[in-house]
Amino acid sequence: MDRAIGLFKSMEDNGVAPNTCNYNTLIRGYCQMCRMEDALGFVQEMIFADTIPDEVTSVILIDGYCKQGKLNETHRIHKVILPNNKHSLAEYNCIIDGYCSHGFVDDARLMLVKMVNDGHKPNIISYTILIKGYCRSRRIDEAIALFEQIIAEGIRLDVVSYNTLLKGLIRHGRSSCVQELYNEMRSSGIFPNDATFKILISGGFQREYF
C-alpha cells in the first residue's frame, strides 16, 4: 500500500491530477486492509481536490464497513458521498450482503423491501444474496420459498443462484431435493459449471449420475 501511495504522490508532484478512478483504487486498498479512517481521509482529500466521488466510491466504502460488521455506518457514508442521491441498486445489494453475512437476514429482507420502495427492481444478484443468507442461517425452507418466488416472478435464474441453493440443500440434509433441482436447472437451459460439480461431489454425489 505504501508503494501505491508513493506512486499516487508522484503523479501529483509531476503535475498529473489524479482522477476518480485513481482515488477509488487507493480507497479500495485501504478498505481491504480495514483501514477505514484512512479510506475516508482519501475521500476528503478527493473532495478538496475538486474530484467528485461517484457511486463506485460509495460502494467501496459501504462494502468495507459491511465486511467489518459496521452496518449502521453504511447510510451515513452514502449521505457523505452522494448526499443528493438515493441508494443505487449496487449499494443496496452490498448492504443486503452485509446484513446476510453477519446473520441479520430479516434486516436484509427489509432492506430489499426498502430497495423496491426506492424504485429499484431487485435483480438476480439481490435474490441470490438473500438465498445464500437464508441457507447460512439454517432457514432452508425460506431459501426454497424465495427461489420459487423468483421463478414465479419470471426472473431469469443463473448458474450462481442454482449453485447457491444446491449447496444449501446439501449442507442442510436435503439431498433428496438435489437431483430434482439439478434436473430443473438443466431443463431451464442453464449449464452446470465446475463449481456445480464440486458442490455435488462434496455432497457425496457421483459425477456420472449428472
Q: What is the pTM (predicted TM-score) of this model?
A: 0.85
CB 167 within 8 A of CB 135: yes
Distances (CA, A) of 27 to 56, 66, 91, 201: 10, 15, 16, 39
Ordered by where they begin, the domains of the chain are 1-85 (1.25.40.10)
Over the chain (210 residues), what is each successive 10-residue block's mean pLDDT? 63 69 90 90 87 89 91 81 78 94 94 92 95 96 95 93 96 87 92 92 71
**Whole-number pLDDT of residue 19:** 82
**Whole-number pLDDT of residue 157:** 94
Q: Which grid cell sits at 23?
A: 482515488
Q: Which residue shows C-alpha cell 485501504?
A: 30
Distance, in Å, from the CA atom of 134 to the CA atom of 136, rounded to the nearest integer, reads 5
Distance, in Å, from the CA atom of 92 to the CA atom of 119, rounded to the nearest integer, reads 12
Helices and strands (H, E) in the chain, number of each type: 12, 0
Q: Which grid cell sits at 84?
A: 443528493
